C-alpha cells in the first residue's frame, strides 16, 4: 500500500515515522511488515495481500500530536491520500462507539461539530481527484472529529461513572500509586501519599534482590514495607517476575541455563518474597509483561508454565492476597517487530484457557517516551481499547499510568491539547481517571511515580516535585479521591 501525505495542501518531501506500524483486520500488528517514506510517498510492505491499516504519530491542528490510524484498506496500484484516510478512520470509530455506547443524541454544540466534520469529509471525498484540496478538507474534518470524539468519550464516562458511584462500586484500594522505597521514611511523603491513595505499591526488581544465586537482600524492602504497614494504606508489591533484561539477575543472564532451571529459580524467588511479606502485602503484581518482554525466548507452553508456577507460589505463601498478571502495551504494537511476543488479548485468553489460578489482569498505560506503546493517544482511543478488554472474564486494574509533566520531545512522542506542562498533566489525569473508572471491568488505577525522578523515561511524570511539593496533578487526584469517598 502507498499513501500520499500533505501538509497545508502541499505534498511532503520529508516525514518522520515515529510510532508507525501496520495492523490487520483483527487489530493486531502485522509481523514482518515495514513502513518507509520514499520519494514523497509512504510505502507500506506486508507479507500477505490481506487488508491492513497504518498507525502513526500525526499532528492535529489545535489539538496536538497523537498516534492515529486509518481503517483497513485493500492494496491498489495508486496511492491513497493519508490525510483523508486518517479522517475516515476517526469518523468510522465515532460511528462504531456511538452504537456500542447507545449514544445517538448530542448537545446542540457538539451535534454541530460532528455534522461539520461529516460535511467536510464528504466534500473531501467528492474532490479526491485534487489531492491537495481534498487533504485540506480532510485535515479540517479530522480536527473536528477528534474534538467531538473526546467529548463523546467524556459524556459516556460521566454517565457510567455517576451510576457506578451511586451503586457504591468503588473499593477503598481503587486509587493507588507506586512509591519510592528510599523516601517512605519521610513523614511528609507518607502523609501526602495517604491523602490521595488507598493503595501503596512497592516496586520489586529480582535482579537487584538476588545478586547471588540463592542469596536474597530484602533489607531495603523490609524497611519500606514496615513503614507503610504503620499507615492507613493497603500495601501492594511487584512485579515479582518480569523477563525484561533489566529485571533479571546478572548471574542468571550470564548462565547458559535451560528453561527448567529458570523456572526453578523463579519459583524459589517468588516463594521467598511472598512468604516474607505475606502478612503485610495484600496485592501482588505476580508477573509482568511476559506478552511483550521475553528475554529468554520462552515458547507458548513455557510462558504459561512459568506464569502458572509464579501464581501457585504466591497462593501457597499468601492465600488471601490478590494476584495480578500484568499485560504490557495493550495496543500490541510490539508484536509486529519483536520476536517471541504475543498479542495482548491472545496472551490473556491463553492464560484463562490454560486454567491458571489468578485473580486479575493488569494493564499498563504509559505515554510520553519514544518507545513502542508509549506514543500519545487521545481519550477516545483509550476508552475504546478498555472496552475491547471488557469481555475478558476477570477483573482488571490499570497497574501503571504515566504521563509527562513538562514538554520533552513532543514531535517524537506526541502531545495532547498543546505542550506538556503541570496543568496539562493534571487535566489529562482527571479525564483519564474518569474514563478508566467509569468502566465496570476496571477495579482500580495505579499511578507510576509519586515524585519526579531525574532519569525517568517520561519527563517529570511524578505527582510531586523532587522536593515533595504537590503538583497540580496531585491536587487533581486528591480531589478525585475525596469526591469518590465523600470527604
Over residues 201-210, the pLDDT tens digits come to 999 999 999 9
- How many angstroms from the chain centroid is the CA of residue 177? 15
CB 433 within 8 A of CB 474: no
Shared-domain flag, residues 181 and 111: no
β-sheet bridge partners, residue 381: none
pLDDT in the model for residue 202: 97
Residue 486 scores a pLDDT above 80: no
| C-alpha cell of residue 236 | 501492594
- Measured at the CA of 18, the angle between CA 12 and CA 24, to 5 degrees, comes to 95
The closest alpha carbon to 339, from 307, 303, 293, belongs to 293
Residue 19 forms part of a structural domain: no
Shared-domain flag, residues 422 and 286: yes
Residue 487 scores a pLDDT above 70: no
Shared-domain flag, residues 88 and 226: no
Over residues 425-446, the pLDDT tens digits come to 999 999 999 999 999 999 999 9
Dmax (CA) of the chain: 71
Query: What b/e readout covers 397-434, taking b as 16+ CB neighbours within 10 angstroms?
Result: bbbbbbbbbbbbebeebbbbbeebebebbbbbbbbbbb
Among residues 137, 162, 187, the one where a domain terminates is 162
Helices 82-101 and 379-389: crossing angle, nearest 10°?
A: 50
The CA radius of gyration of the chain, in Å to the nearest whole number, is 23
Q: What is the mean pLDDT of the chain?
A: 94
| C-alpha cell of residue 279 | 502478612
Q: Which structural domain, as residue segments, surrounds residue 372?
A: 172-485
Strand segments (E) across 18-167 = 21-23, 34-38, 41-45, 53-60, 64-69, 80-81
Residue 340 forms part of a structural domain: yes
Contacts of 18 (CB under 8 A, 6+ apart): 56, 57, 370, 375, 411, 412, 413
Over residues 451-479, the pLDDT tens digits come to 999 888 999 999 999 999 999 999 999 99
Over residues 129-178, the pLDDT tens digits come to 999 999 999 999 999 999 999 999 999 999 999 999 888 889 888 999 99
pLDDT in the model for residue 106: 74
State how beta strands 6-7 and 34-38 pair: unpaired
Shared-domain flag, residues 208 and 343: yes
Contacts of 13 (CB under 8 A, 6+ apart): 40
CATH number, domain at 443?
3.20.20.80
Shared-domain flag, residues 214 and 337: yes
Residue 20 forms part of a structural domain: no
Shared-domain flag, residues 106 and 180: no
pLDDT in the model for residue 171: 86
Over residues 327-371, the pLDDT tens digits come to 999 999 999 999 999 999 999 999 999 999 999 999 999 999 999
Shared-domain flag, residues 343 and 283: yes
β-sheet bridge partners, residue 57: 67
Residue 233 scores a pLDDT above 80: yes
Where do we find the cell 469481555?
391
Residue 429 forms part of a structural domain: yes
Give me the percent of the chain exceeding a pLDDT of 70: 99
Residue 472 forms part of a structural domain: yes
Over residues 79-126, the pLDDT tens digits come to 999 999 999 999 999 999 999 999 878 776 788 899 999 999 999 999
Shared-domain flag, residues 328 and 417: yes
pLDDT in the model for residue 407: 87
Query: Domain tally for the chain?
Result: 2
pLDDT in the model for residue 361: 98
Report the C-alpha gap between 417 and 150 in whole angstroms. Answer: 11
Q: H-helix or E-strand containing 144?
A: helix 131-166
Shared-domain flag, residues 179 and 146: no
Shared-domain flag, residues 233 and 305: yes
Using DSSP, state whether 8 is helix, strand or coil: coil
Residue 52 forms part of a structural domain: no
Over residues 262-299, the pLDDT tens digits come to 999 999 999 999 999 988 999 999 999 999 999 999 99
Residue 189 scores a pLDDT above 90: yes
CB 180 within 8 A of CB 219: no
List Cα–Cα distances, 224 to 175, 201, 266, in angstroms.
Answer: 20, 11, 23
CB 287 within 8 A of CB 311: yes
Residue 51 forms part of a structural domain: no
Among residues 100, 128, 162, the one where a domain terminates is 162
Give me the percent of the chain exceeding a pLDDT of 90: 88
Length of the chain as a residue count: 487
pLDDT in the model for residue 392: 92
Among residues 122, 141, 162, the one where a domain terminates is 162
Report the C-alpha gap between 244 and 234 in whole angstroms. Answer: 27
CB neighbourhood size of 82 (10 A): 24
pLDDT, average across residues 196-217: 95
| C-alpha cell of residue 261 | 532451571
- Long-range contacts, 27-30 (Cβ 8 Å, 24+): 27/332, 27/388, 28/332, 28/335, 28/343, 28/346, 29/332, 29/333, 29/334, 29/335, 29/336, 29/337, 29/343, 30/336
Shared-domain flag, residues 228 and 135: no
Residue 29 forms part of a structural domain: no
Shared-domain flag, residues 185 and 141: no
Amino acid at each position: 500500500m502507498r499513501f500520499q501525505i500533505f501538509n497545508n495542501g502541499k505534498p511532503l518531501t520529508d516525514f518522520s515515522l515515529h510510532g508507525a506500524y501496520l495492523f490487520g483486520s483483527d487489530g493486531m500488528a502485522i509481523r514482518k511488515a515495514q513502513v518507509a517514506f520514499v520519494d514523497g510517498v509512504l510505502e507500506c510492505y506486508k507479507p500477505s495481500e490481506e487488508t491492513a491499516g497504518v498507525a502513526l504519530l500525526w499532528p492535529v491542528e489545535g489539538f496536538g500530536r497523537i498516534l492515529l490510524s486509518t481503517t483497513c484498506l485493500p492494496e491498489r496500484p495508486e496511492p491513497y491520500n493519508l490525510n483523508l484516510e486518517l479522517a475516515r478512520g476517526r469518523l468510522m470509530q465515532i460511528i462504531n462507539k456511538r452504537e456500542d455506547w447507545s449514544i445517538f443524541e448530542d448537545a446542540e454544540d457538539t451535534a454541530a461539530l460532528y455534522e461539520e466534520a461529516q460535511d467536510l469529509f464528504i466534500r473531501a471525498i467528492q474532490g479526491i481527484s485534487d489531492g491537495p484540496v481534498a487533504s485540506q478538507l480532510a485535515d479540517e474534518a479530522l480536527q473536528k472529529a477528534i474534538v467531538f470524539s473526546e467529548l463523546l468519550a467524556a459524556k459516556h464516562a460521566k454517565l457510567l461513572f455517576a451510576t457506578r458511584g451511586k451503586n457504591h462500586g468503588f473499593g477503598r484500594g481503587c486509587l493507588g500509586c507506586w512509591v519510592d522505597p528510599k523516601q517512605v521514611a519521610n513523614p511528609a511523603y507518607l502523609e501526602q501519599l495517604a491523602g490521595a491513595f488507598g493503595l501503596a505499591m512497592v516496586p520489586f526488581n529480582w535482579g537487584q534482590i538476588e545478586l547471588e544465586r540463592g542469596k536474597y537482600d530484602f533489607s531495603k524492602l523490609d524497611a519500606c514495607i514496615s513503614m507503610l504497614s504503620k499507615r492507613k494504606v493497603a500495601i501492594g508489591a511487584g512485579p515479582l517476575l518480569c523477563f525484561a533484561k533489566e529485571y533479571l539477575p546478572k548471574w542468571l543472564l550470564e548462565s547458559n541455563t535451560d528453561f527448567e532451571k529458570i523456572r526453578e529459580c523463579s519459583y524459589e524467588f517468588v516463594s521467598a518474597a511472598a512468604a516474607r511479606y505475606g502478612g503485610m502485602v495484600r496485592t501482588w503484581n505476580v508477573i509482568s509483561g511476559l506478552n511483550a518482554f521475553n528475554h529468554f525466548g520462552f515458547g507458548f507452553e513455557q510462558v504459561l508454565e512459568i506464569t502458572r508456577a509464579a501464581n501457585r507460589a504466591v497462593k501457597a505463601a499468601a492465600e488471601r492476597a490478590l494476584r495480578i498478571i500484568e499485560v504490557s502495551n495493550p495496543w500490541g504494537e510490539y508484536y509486529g517487530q519483536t520476536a517471541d511476543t504475543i498479542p495482548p488479548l491472545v496472551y490473556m485468553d491463553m492464560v484463562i484457557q490454560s486454567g491458571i489460578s489468578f485473580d486479575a489482569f493488569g494493564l499498563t498505560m504509559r505515554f510520553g517516551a519514544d518507545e513502542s506503546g508509549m506514543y500519545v493517544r487521545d481519550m477516545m482511543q483509550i476508552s475504546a481499547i478498555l472496552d475491547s478488554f471488557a469481555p475478558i472474564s476477570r477483573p482488571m486494574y490499570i497497574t501503571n499510568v504515566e504521563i509527562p509533566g513538562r514538554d520533552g520531545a513532543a514531535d517524537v512522542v506526541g502531545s495532547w491539547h498543546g505542550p506538556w506542562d503541570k496543568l496539562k498533566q493534571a487535566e489529562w489525569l482527571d479525564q483519564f481517571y474518569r474514563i478508566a473508572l467509569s468502566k465496570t471491568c476496571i477495579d482500580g488505577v495505579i499511578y507510576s511515580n509519586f515524585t519526579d525522578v531525574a532519569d525517568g523515561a517520561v519527563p517529570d511524570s511524578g505527582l510531586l516535585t523532587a522536593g515533595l511539593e504537590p503538583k497540580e496533578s496531585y491536587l487533581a487526584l486528591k480531589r478525585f479521591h475525596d469526591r469518590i469517598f465523600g470527604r
